[in-house]
Amino acid sequence: MRAKDSVIALALFTASTAFAQSRAVTPRPGQIHGWTVDTATVPLSGAQVSLKGVSIPVRTNERGEFRFDSLAAGEHVLVARLPGFSPETVSVTLEDGENLDVRIVLRPLVVTLAEMTVSEAAAVPARFEAFELRRQRKRVGAQFITHDEITKRAPLVTTDLLRRMQGFRIYDSAGVSVAVSTRGPKPTLRRTNTPCTLRVGVDGTVLSAVALNSIPPADIHGIEIYTGANIPPEFSSGGPDSYCGLIMIWLR
């Protein structure tokens, strides 16, 4: 080969090699194409998707799609946000010139409500409001048994609830249980030793005769007990009976 031809061949080889090397080292832009969906795989439109290093986020279309073009190879971090859903972060690795598909699943945002306190009075039916009001005022000498206490104790008969109360004793009178005051006999002009039996009322009305155990405990909302002159005016008739006391039963 002549020297001139050798020089030309060498020049062509060098140029070809340089071109190949330049193509090998020139990075090719890549692309990330993705979708945002909920946990039921329903596309989410209007979600904001941001890409670390890209200042302007994009919005997903009606099919939940988004796209980022002209991206360099390497790791990329995507963050998707949508009101009502928890933000989701996804890291992906993009190869040189790669077109990568990504699906981002957004989970509904769980909102924890602040603890609420419901007062007992707010949940009480209107006909029990007076009972609850007297109970909350803590009238001197008054005793109350609530429905919660009745449920907790689960008594077999109503007198099982009353035996632990103060100011009277439960006695059997001709097969009927009655509450007898510990204040002594009923005051009378003849000074007889007549037992001072507490009157019994139901739902605000004082009755002339009612057996305590004729009312099942499960039917009772509450009981208020007065063992002397502290009986509320709306229940007091005056006279010796008021001296003995009163058991007022409120039915559910």
Mean pLDDT, the chain, whole residue set: 82
Which of 42, 70, 105 is the endpoint of a domain?
Answer: 105
Domain that holds residue 139: 120-251
Q: What's the burial of 197, exposed, middle or buried (CB within 10 Å: 0-12/13-18/19+)? A: middle
Residue % of the chain over a pLDDT of 70: 78
Domain containing residue 81: CATH number? 2.60.40.1120
What's the pLDDT tens digit per position in 21-75?
545 568 899 999 999 999 999 999 999 999 988 768 999 999 999 999 999 999 9
Quick one: pLDDT at residue 7?
47
CB 221 within 8 A of CB 251: yes
pTM of the model: 0.49
What is the number of structural domains in the chain?
2
Q: Mean pLDDT, to the nearest integer, of 71-97?
A: 93
What's the pLDDT tens digit per position in 146-203?
989 999 988 889 999 898 888 889 887 777 888 888 877 776 656 667 788 888 989 8
Looking at the structure, do residues 126 and 80 belong to the same domain, yes or no?
A: no
- Residue 3: inside a domain, yes or no? no
